Structure 1
Amino acid sequence: MTRDRVVTAALSFCLIANLAPIMTFPAMAPEVSQAWGYSVTEIGWIGGVYFAGYAAAVPLLAGATDRFDCRWIIIGSSLMGAIAGLAFAMLAGSFWPALVFRCLGGVALAGVHMPGLKFITERIGGPSQTRSVAIYTSSYAFGSAGSFLLAGLVAVLLGWRAAFFVAGISPLLAVVAMIWLPPSRPRPLPVGPTLAFGGVVRNRAFMAYVLGFAGNTWEVFGIRVWFVACLSWSLSLPGNHLDLPNLAVIGGLASLAGVPVSIFVAELASKWNRSRVIVATCLVSVAVCLTLAATAGGGIVVFLALLILLQITSFADVGALSAGAVVLSDPARRGAALAIYAFAGFTTGFLGPVVIGFAIDWFGGLESRSGWTAAFLVMALGSMVAGLAVWSVRHNDQGAR
């Protein structure tokens, strides 16, 4: 195995290990809400606050990679992720402790996700970089899907509380993997941090991809946080009974299906026309959201197929967006650029599930067809914004290859 492949594989593994806790709460939301008495809005807050913690911390942690060795940032953050996950498993019971521990878990992920991407861009160049970036960013789906699967399988065997405990241990595996990698190569900025961020914001083409990623995460995290609850509601309707495995397992497999599609779309975008590929993908995802809104409360077979399809289409352009953003960013300010990119994406990743929760409550609640119709209309806004943002800088395609 070549050095580039070793670095890509190791960083992808670290990301996957640190993502184990990310979807444990959404996967176990029906059981947890019943045991702890959470409202729909509280479920939305706990599901989304993970991404708020990420968004709050990523400017500092990702920006620091321009000056410090990424390895130690990732190792320290992995340890923090394990502590937050285990604390949730052992100490959370009411709303506020659960909110705090989930938020800390998001902070920890901020010190792994974009620093890992920065490590790859420092160590891998040339034609291999686009492919490595696509593989790394697409491995996010492996991690979130694995989080669903792990939670579902452990819950079946040991109960839902054990699912949180097992997920909390996983980030420790990333520490072992990172110790064996060589140091990264941070390049000190020629100007102060404020000017570095200012220079990034003035890059219009890059900022369009930032807005595209923000729209992407609005939709991706919206469907992932609410997938199990939505499917559970649909199965409870008269005539919609199906003998299915644990719903968290289904959610995980649906998320996993998006990985090869994302890699394929990124490869297609790098060889053809990036903006057109991304915009076409966004249009497909908007169409799926609108179809789900129209068919909510209908036959379970069609509805389940559409839910799974949305897991795929919502994630399909993430690799192409990230690869384009990396190429359009200034190498000397790439840590700052990735900090802004991640901050925007995970801010909407937090807001999406929360706003969807408000929409469900406002239009009738979890047991209401109108509530879920509103939810999918809100989700569709993500790909609409992403497609418009990328299309606005379509003339920069040559620079984003």
Structure 2
Amino acid sequence: MSILKGNTPLMLLAQIGALLGFAAYAVTLTTLQNEWGLSNFESGLIASSFFVGYVLLVPFATALTDQMDARRIYLFGSTLAISGLLGMGFLANDFYSACLCMAINGAGLAATYMPGLKILSDRLTQGEITRHISFYTAFFGVGTGLSYVVSGWVLNLGDWHHVYRWLALGPTISLLIVYFCVRPMHDVHWHDRIVINWRDIFPVAKWQQVLQDRNASGFILGYTFHSLELFASRSWLVAFFILSTQLSGEQFFLAATTLAGVINFFGVPASILGNELALKIGRQKWICIVMITSAIFGVALAYSMGHASWLILALAIGHAIFIMADSATLTAGLVTSADPKIKGAAMGLHSLMGFGGGLLGPAIFGFVLDLSGSQTDRISWICAYASIVIWGVLFVIYERRKGWVH
């Protein structure tokens, strides 16, 4: 297979390493909450600060890939990710220091994920690009799933500091792979001088054109609410499993962190197969079906807290599948509906809005947990899950009234 040749296997391995610290905070959330006396809102804000770092840096990181070899940006991003994780492992001791370290870690992902894609595309021939890129994007789910599993293993072996210290090896390995195994591009004339053009980094005029397109704006708004629900769920799922076990007294057959990782893997085929179904019944119709179903599973999962472990596990898998079942469809819908003249700006806005939703989700979830009562109360968790799935339901109602769904 051509996918096994060239730089692609190296970049797939590098991406797994770069994402190894992704779920470290979700795994240690309950531990840090107890040790530092954090409220649920503060716990959610620390998770959200990861996406703050991502959103702040990603416009610059992606714009600079047109002016220099993306390999250089990737190395810088790996260094940021290493710094953020080691900062959490050695320096963080309260809410504010944790927010700073997590933001640095998120900025590291911003300078590795899309630049990593650019490393691949710059070194591939035109006919090969699509297949290699599909593998690269699918490995995001593989990397985040492994992050839960490995973080949980390390946490079981020592205190929470060791999770971040050991997982910093992930982006370190990524840095070494790209530095030693991916050759610099010398046959391309890059800019002798880096020029920061704010209109290129924040193309507001083009973004306005994108949002005026009824189809494109619908896919972008849908992706925003999809990401809000997705990243909120990923941030709080381990805590949900731990508290559910405490309430029922019944242990799962796997550790909570390993379960979260395994469940996360279901999202990879769900996204791919969901896109195939969307092509048969219509993208907009499929997105609406998935968002409503995901909302039902989310609330049902919260209601199952303290019940039989098999029921909780089944609902958690169902929720994970339907959260991701419209992910590829939303992105593919935007790519095919956007005006070719401004497609790059459309994709940039799509990514920015998506991770903006990821920024809001964990904080909203924690805020509602605080507002609705005790963290050990099932009603509070129902309210918290409802607060993140309701946006998809409102999106469906709004878009159907506007005639987006044909």
Alignment TM-score, normalising by the size of structure 2: 0.85
The answer to whether residue 347 in structure 2 is matched with residue 346 in structure 1 is no
Q: 1:314 aligns with which of 316, 323, 329?
A: 323
Q: 1:221 aligns with which of 224, 231, 246?
A: 231
Q: Which residue of 2 aligns with 1:357?
A: 366
Distance in structure 2 (CA, Å) of the matches to 1:347 and 1:35 = 29
Q: CA RMSD in A?
A: 3.2
List alignment gaps of at least 5 residues for structure 2: none
- Checking the alignment, whether the CA contact within 8 Å between 1:142 and 1:256 is kept in structure 2 is yes
Give, in angstroms, the shift of residue 214 of structure 1.
0.9
Alignment of 1:3-18 (within 5 A): 6-18=6-18
Alignment of 1:227-306 (within 5 A): 227-238=237-248, 240-269=249-278, 273-306=282-315
Distance in structure 1 (CA, Å) of the matches to 2:222 and 2:351 = 11
Q: 1:191 to 1:28 in 2, by over 3 A?
A: closer
Q: 1:12 to 1:333 in 2, by over 3 A?
A: farther
The answer to whether residue 19 in structure 2 is matched with residue 19 in structure 1 is yes
Structure 1: which amino acid aligns with 2:171?
A: P
- Checking the alignment, whether the CA contact within 8 Å between 2:27 and 2:257 is kept in structure 1 is yes
Q: Which residue of 1 aligns with 2:73?
A: 73
Q: Which residue of 2 aligns with 1:161?
A: 161
List alignment gaps of at least 5 residues for structure 1: 396-401
Q: Which residue of 2 aligns with 1:43?
A: 43
Q: Which residue of 2 aligns with 1:52?
A: 52
Give, in angstroms, the shift of residue 150 of structure 1.
0.8
- Checking the alignment, whether the CA contact within 8 Å between 1:74 and 1:116 is kept in structure 2 is yes
Partner SS state of residue 323, structure 1: helix
How many percent of aligned residue pairs carry the same amino acid? 26
- Checking the alignment, whether the CA contact within 8 Å between 2:3 and 2:131 is kept in structure 1 is no
Q: How many residues align?
A: 394
Q: Which residue of 2 aligns with 1:399?
A: none
Distance in structure 1 (CA, Å) of the matches to 2:174 and 2:143 = 12
Q: 2:217 aligns with which of 203, 207, 210?
A: 207
Alignment TM-score, normalising by the size of structure 1: 0.86
Deviations 1:85-112 (A, max 9, x none): 1121111112211110001111111112
Q: Which residue of 1 aligns with 2:143?
A: 143
Q: 2:380 aligns with which of 371, 384, 391?
A: 371
Give, in angstroms, the shift of residue 120 of structure 1.
4.9
Q: 1:57 to 1:377 in 2, by over 3 A?
A: same
Q: Which residue of 2 aligns with 1:398?
A: none
Give, in angstroms, the shift of residue 191 of structure 1.
11
Structure 2: which amino acid aligns with 1:85?
A: L
Deviations 1:136-158 (A, max 9, x none): 33322212111111101112234
Give, in angstroms, the shift of residue 36 of structure 1.
2.7
Deviations 1:272-297 (A, max 9, x none): 63333333332321221232344444
